[in-house]
Amino acid sequence: MEQHTFNESEHDNDDVSAQVESLLISGEESSRAGDSKSALASFNKAISLDPSSDMAWFNRGVLLEAQQDARGARQAFQICLDVNPNHAPATANLCILLERIGDETGAYNMALKALEFYPGHPSIMDVKNRCQGSISSKPIESMQQVEQIEQYDQGDVEKVVEETGFTDVKAILDEAVHHDVDDNQQLDIDELRSAAEVVMATEEIQERIEVSQPVVQAIPDLPVVPIEPEIENILDLDAMAEEAKNMIQSGDPKGALALLKPHLKTEASKHPQSWLIAGGAMARLDLEDHAISAIEHAQKLDPSNPKGWYNLGSLKQRKGLLSEASTCYSNALREDPSYVKAAEKWAPIAMELKDPQAYLSAATIIVASNPESPLRMELATTLIELAEGESRVLESQSGLPPTLPEGPEMAKTALDLIGEGETELHARAHSMANNHMESVKIWKGLIQINRNEPEIWRGLAKALYAAGDSTTAEKCSIKAKEIEESVSKPPTTATELTSNETIPQDFAAQPEVDTDPVSQEEMMSANQLLARPQPEVPTPEPTPNPQVDLAKAALEVQNNSLVQEEFRNPSSNSVANQDISWYNQGVALIEAGKYAEALSCFDRALPSFSNDDEMVIRILNGRGNAFYYLENYPACVESYHQAMLIKPEEVRGKTLYNMGTAYAEMERYQDAVKCFEQAIPRGLSKDEIKRTKDQIRRCNILIKEQKKKNR
């Protein structure tokens, strides 16, 4: 009978230990996910089950310190050290905390202890040096407690007191602030019970510690015998990690993990290399989920380690988590742009995920490191295909256009990759790079070699259309169609352009327009409206875990803009020339707030300057301004865009900024971000760049909120 009782008790202890371990793991996972409320609830529950769990007390201290409860954090770290005096992370955390609250004597003593675990640690050494010789102290009793939550049912409090037998209501209410799981500033009976359990557990462990302290009685008249302090073995974490690494390389991952595991949650809790190598050992033992968690912790401690990101990406890829693996390889290359091994893993994943930007980044690194790589032609082809795809979208788009096309730059990069030549790929690239004459020349050469290939005739037709010779282009399209039809039936009558005909040499001639130069004053661009100094708009400081107010953030994006200010005083944009009175009148009407009338004037001015690009750009920007004030943002964006396409290489950053603000008014924040990003390298001042980056940050917040609402 006695034996049965002993076994049952032992089983209960094992069950509690398993529950506590599970709660610790759950709390750590919640903490890594940013859910501090759930994490604290797990650690509190672990404490109520086992008040002697040093890791539960330590983790509680970390979370309370983050929540600005210095008194609660100090108590938790101290109990952790009372339970386990060799808990290295607790000594370091308490050392830093004590200095921060003004207990410099305690901070100095704790720094000495912490340096036994972390010899030479710069932060701890700084505390030791700053606090050495100080007599300033601050007992925990003098520290301010966090403010109680005042909303609760007195009947619930009385019921909890009756259930637990614990009568210190103030202590329960002081603790309950950390048990408001739903964060509604109102305590229900379960939250009060949870608080009471932790208070009782705290008193229990403190009583145990007091009882366990030996009572030393003074013996009079005995000489004091000096005792040499025992020199503890200081664990060399770097050496331990290196030893474990060598064990893995020699085929003993199990031994490596056994070496590291006892120290991971104590001395090595903040040693990234130990966690990284432990993750490697777990991976070789097929403990993939544990390996991922270990390496994620290592990267959280040291996100600048490219090899850690690479290893984490490999594990994610093995688990089929391709999107997360792609992010890891991207991070590896962010930290080390020459990490070709990561790029080689990233490129095929990016292709599978249909992420062209990621593929281009990875492939570019691979080709740069090895110009003979077979990926070189594949990259060039992909760039040209992306440029052609963008061109097709622009041609078919009936709604709002995007910002400046990226196709021409991609095509130029492709031409650099493939070098000189006269292949179909060269012809397509020249077309996308707006080198239409060169493209036509190559297509003509290809036709001389193979006159019966319809795709070549079709390529020539597209190049001719782009070059402005639509008549000859139409003939080439007919020829392509004729060749395709001849495959299934014999030719009948000849078309206008037979295979023996030559292509006119002057098919793409463009009319030359001589325009008299105007004065410097006359040629001011509409974008000069932005050149005047802008008053700085204060940016609110971010707060921890902010609750995003979507309407407020959107209003900030719309109001904190160069556009609003530049539109208010456009008079400097008027031109002293009698031939453009309609334009000047439109500028004056905008200044007078008569936007519809201004728009009418700009529309009447536009036909007079069909051959004057500079004036067309100014008029289109003026129309954009008018549309903005009329709150017709789609038309505003389209007008700006038309102005940009005339001379894309001369578009100023402030014009793109205007366009981004109009997109933000339409809640098209992705497009707004793209405009703002393109604006930064195009001549903005330092203050304007800062403002633009603020706009990008706000838009990114709004994008996240939109995604949440859509889900």
Q: What is the pLDDT of residues 519-546, one digit of tens each?
A: 223 223 323 323 222 333 333 333 333 3
pLDDT, one tens digit per residue, over 148-169 is 877 778 888 788 888 878 788 8
Rounded Cα gap, residues 102 and 107, in angstroms: 9
**Lowest mean pLDDT across 263-267, 289-293, 453-457, 505-509:** 505-509
- Summarize the confidence of residues 71-91 as an average pLDDT: 90
* pLDDT(574) > 70: no
For 155, other C-beta atoms within 10 Å of its C-beta total 9
Rounded Cα gap, residues 317 and 323, in angstroms: 9
Residues in the chain: 711
Question: Measured between alpha carbons, how far is residue 115 from residues 228, 266, 389, 398, 672 in Å?
Answer: 19, 14, 61, 68, 51
CB 657 within 8 A of CB 684: yes
- Summarize the confidence of residues 422-439 as an average pLDDT: 83
- Summarize the confidence of residues 114-136 as an average pLDDT: 86
**Lowest mean pLDDT across 202-216, 468-482, 556-570:** 556-570
Domains, the chain, ranges and CATH? 2-207 (1.25.40.10), 245-302 (1.25.40), 526-534+546-710 (1.25.40.10)
pLDDT, one tens digit per residue, over 2-24 is 333 334 444 456 678 888 888 88
CB 260 within 8 A of CB 272: no
For 537, other C-beta atoms within 10 Å of its C-beta total 13
pTM of the complete model: 0.37
| pLDDT for the residue 211 | 58
| pLDDT for the residue 568 | 40
Return the closest-CA partner of residue 88 out of 105, 63, 110, 66: 110
Query: Tell me, what DSSP letter sits at residue 489?
Result: S
As a whole number, the mean pLDDT across the chain is 76
3-class state of residue 128 by DSSP: helix
Helices (H) and strands (E) in the chain, counts: 33, 0
CB 32 within 8 A of CB 44: no
- Summarize the confidence of residues 559-586 as an average pLDDT: 53
Rounded Cα gap, residues 161 and 411, in angstroms: 76
Q: Which residues pair with 187 in a beta bridge?
A: 152
CB 664 within 8 A of CB 557: yes
| pLDDT for the residue 14 | 62
Displacement of CA 431 from its chain's centroid (Å): 35
* pLDDT(562) > 60: no
* pLDDT(312) > 90: yes
pLDDT band (50, 70, 90) for residue 487: low
CB 407 within 8 A of CB 390: yes
Which helix (H) or strand (E) is 134 found in, with range?
none
- Summarize the confidence of residues 494-507 as an average pLDDT: 33
Token duo for residue 690: 């800062």
Rounded Cα gap, residues 430 and 415, in angstroms: 8
| pLDDT for the residue 226 | 38
| pLDDT for the residue 13 | 60
Percent of residues, the chain, with pLDDT higher than 70: 78
| pLDDT for the residue 163 | 83
Displacement of CA 7 from its chain's centroid (Å): 54
* pLDDT(324) > 60: yes
Query: In the chain, helix, strand, coil percent, each to 5?
Result: 70, 0, 30
* pLDDT(391) > 50: yes
Which helix (H) or strand (E) is 698 found in, with range?
helix 686-710
CB 234 within 8 A of CB 117: yes
Q: Which residues contact 92 (CB under 8 A, 6 or more apart)?
A: 114, 117, 118, 121, 123, 124, 270
**Lowest mean pLDDT across 390-404, 408-422, 562-576, 673-687:** 562-576
| pLDDT for the residue 659 | 86
| pLDDT for the residue 276 | 92
pLDDT band (50, 70, 90) for residue 491: very low
Query: Tell me, what DSSP letter sits at residue 526?
Result: G
Rounded Cα gap, residues 374 and 366, in angstroms: 10
* pLDDT(278) > 60: yes
Higher pLDDT, 150 or 675: 675
| pLDDT for the residue 516 | 28
| pLDDT for the residue 396 | 63
CB 429 within 8 A of CB 388: no
| pLDDT for the residue 439 | 84
- Summarize the confidence of residues 364-385 as an average pLDDT: 77
- Summarize the confidence of residues 623-637 as an average pLDDT: 86
